[in-house]
Amino acid sequence: MTVGKKSKKINIRSLTKEELSLAIAEKGHPAFRAKQIWEWLWKKQTVDFKQMSSLSLPLREQLNKEFEILNAVPFHSQLSKDGTFKTTLRLFDGNVIEAVLIPDAKRNTACISSQVGCKLGCHFCATASLGFKRNLSFDEIMDQLFCLDQKAIEQSGSKLSNIVFMGMGEPLLNFEALLKAIQMITSPEGMGMSPTRITVSTVGISKQIKRLADEKTNVNLALSLHAANDELRSSLIPFNDVEPIKNLIDALRYYHEVTGQRITIEYILFDKLNDDLKSAKELANFCRNFPVKINLIPYNQTDMKQFKTAQMRKVTEFAEFLKDMNIVVNVRRSRGSDISAACGQLANKG
Ligand code: SF4
């Protein structure tokens, strides 16, 4: 792969299996050729048409003339002292993204990016400081997974078990590529993974939450809430002015009604900001609208000095209050913070 401008050729890996079959049939080739090409691209991860030795030479030349292969290439990686692995991948146009492997005793979780940067500008998030460059294509999303899957096998002998769309960007603002990636991850010809092992995390784009429900993907949905009153939430997430909490309640109710799933609520705890009893009560009220599970995440420090991590005592009190209200609560241990790989820290810092 060369870094530079995209040519007029079609990136063959951006096509779904059906689109590839159609394109190959239109050129007058039998159906089994598309299957062979698909296997070279996705099973064998071949990035050069010349190496597709089961194809005839004229077909390889034709492919080379009309298509190109634009794979994302890992060029830098870091291993945290807790085993978390972060990789930086360079895209065909020189942009870079990050993806993180979080291993524990039972799982190998991949945290992947959906956009280069992000346009939503959440004040506590390091990715926001990059601004927004562009959406990732579906194959660029898949490349992160292939890279982390390989690393998981290398480190633990096991493949990826879970995938979270919680890296750089807002996945629901890159809906088509997200859907294609979910289809590929869950299809037997792709990664053959159950949708219940995939979590899409969003700041809350209500129209797209409803669409995700209607698409019957059956993935888990996580809402980055962080405050359950509009004034405080807007001070953390400017997009809350566009999509206030009442819109989110409506969309999440719909998601639950259509999919039957419990919604995951992500709540970052900041010192003296949203870690008091009043905030915990507001959160408990919000959670009355549908079945939920809450992940409390003590803030991972970045360069943004205005935000501080909540004290452990406050985190415990907050969690206990919610548990007393019969709400399922997990306090998330920070992983990979020494290599800026933790939640909200991804900003291509190497
Ligand atoms: S928290 Fe998510 S939506 Fe907000 S700026 Fe960061 S990446 Fe974007």
Helix or strand run (H / E) with residue 318: helix 312-324
Q: How far is the CA of 193 from the centre of ligand 1 (A)?
A: 26
Q: How many domains does the chain have?
A: 2
Structure confidence at residue 342 as a pLDDT band (50, 70, 90): low
pLDDT over 90 percentage in the chain: 85
pLDDT at 272 over 80: yes
Nearest CA to ligand 1 atom 7: 169
Ligand 1 site, residue 127, Cβ cutoff 6 A: yes
pLDDT of 169: 96
> What is the C-alpha to C-alpha distance for residues 218 and 182, in angstroms, rounded to an integer?
10
Q: How far is the CA of 169 from the centre of ligand 1 (A)?
A: 6
Statement to judge: residues 169 and 49 lie in one domain: no
> What is the C-alpha to C-alpha distance for residues 21 and 81, in angstroms, rounded to an integer?
46
- Residue that wins the pLDDT comparison between 340 and 331: 331
| Domain membership flag for residue 346 | no
Statement to judge: residues 59 and 101 lie in one domain: no
Looking up tokens 């919610």 gives: 322
> What is the C-alpha to C-alpha distance for residues 251 and 239, in angstroms, rounded to an integer?
16
pLDDT of 2: 43
Whichever domain contains 42, its CATH number is 1.10.150.530
Residue 147 among the catalytic residues: no
| Domain membership flag for residue 94 | yes
Mean pLDDT of the chain: 93
Tokens of 110: 């991949």
List, for residues 298-334, the tens digit of each pLDDT value. Answer: 998 777 778 999 999 999 999 999 999 999 999 987 7
Question: What DSSP assignment string belongs to 138-174?
Answer: HHHHHHHHHHHHHHHHHHHS----EEEE-SSS-GGGS
pLDDT of 190: 87
Statement to judge: residues 25 and 77 lie in one domain: no
| Domain membership flag for residue 296 | yes
Contacts of 78 (CB under 8 A, 6+ apart): 85, 86, 339, 341, 350
pLDDT at 3 over 80: no
Statement to judge: residues 174 and 38 lie in one domain: no
Tokens of 76: 């830098």
- Residue that wins the pLDDT comparison between 340 and 300: 300
Statement to judge: residues 49 and 151 lie in one domain: no
Ligand 1 site, residue 172, Cβ cutoff 6 A: no
Looking at the CA of residue 169, tell me the nearest atom of ligand 1: 7
Pocket perturbation via mutation, ligand 1, pick of 98, 100, 125, 226 by most ligand atoms within 8 A of CB: 125
| Domain membership flag for residue 252 | yes
List, for residues 167-215, the tens digit of each pLDDT value. Answer: 999 999 999 999 999 999 999 888 999 999 999 999 999 999 999 999 9
Torsion of CA 334, 336, 340, 342, to 10 degrees: -40
List, for residues 224-240, the tens digit of each pLDDT value. Answer: 999 999 999 999 999 99
Contacts of 58 (CB under 8 A, 6+ apart): none
pTM for this entry? 0.93
Q: Are 204 and 239 in contact (CB under 8 A)?
A: yes
pLDDT over 70 percentage in the chain: 96
Statement to judge: residues 29 and 109 lie in one domain: no
pLDDT of 248: 98
Tokens of 20: 């590839």
Question: What DSSP assignment string belongs to 224-282?
Answer: E-S-SSHHHHHHH-GGGGTS-HHHHHHHHHHHHHHH-PPEEEEEEEBTTTS-SHHHHHH
Statement to judge: residues 155 and 224 lie in one domain: yes
- Can you tell me whether residue 20 is helix, strand or coil? helix
Last residue of a domain, one of 25, 40, 68: 68
Statement to judge: residues 144 and 224 lie in one domain: yes
> How open is the CA angle 6-117-230, to the nearest 5 degrees?
145
| Domain membership flag for residue 99 | yes
Looking at the CA of residue 201, tell me the nearest atom of ligand 1: 2
Last residue of a domain, one of 23, 50, 68: 68
Q: How far is the CA of 303 from the centre of ligand 1 (A)?
A: 16
Statement to judge: residues 77 and 41 lie in one domain: no
Statement to judge: residues 205 and 305 lie in one domain: yes
pLDDT at 5 over 80: no
> What is the C-alpha to C-alpha distance for residues 9 and 209, in angstroms, rounded to an integer?
34
* Residue 154 lies in domain: 73-339
Whichever domain contains 148, its CATH number is 3.20.20.70
Nearest CA to ligand 1 atom 6: 125
Residue 111 among the catalytic residues: no
Catalytic residue among 111, 122, 147, 343: 343
- Where is average pLDDT lowest: 38-52, 56-70, 297-311? 297-311
pLDDT of 221: 98
Statement to judge: residues 90 and 208 lie in one domain: yes
| Domain membership flag for residue 4 | no
Statement to judge: residues 28 and 135 lie in one domain: no
Catalytic residue among 68, 98, 266, 282: 98
pLDDT of 1: 47
Q: How far is the CA of 123 from the centre of ligand 1 (A)?
A: 9
pLDDT of 348: 66
Ligand 1 site, residue 282, Cβ cutoff 6 A: no
Last residue of a domain, one of 53, 68, 83: 68
| Domain membership flag for residue 5 | no
Q: Are 239 and 128 in contact (CB under 8 A)?
A: no
Q: How far is the CA of 167 from the centre of ligand 1 (A)?
A: 9
> What is the C-alpha to C-alpha distance for residues 48 and 68, in angstroms, rounded to an integer?
9
Ligand 1 site, residue 120, Cβ cutoff 6 A: yes
For the beta carbon of residue 146, count every other beta carbon within 10 angstroms: 17
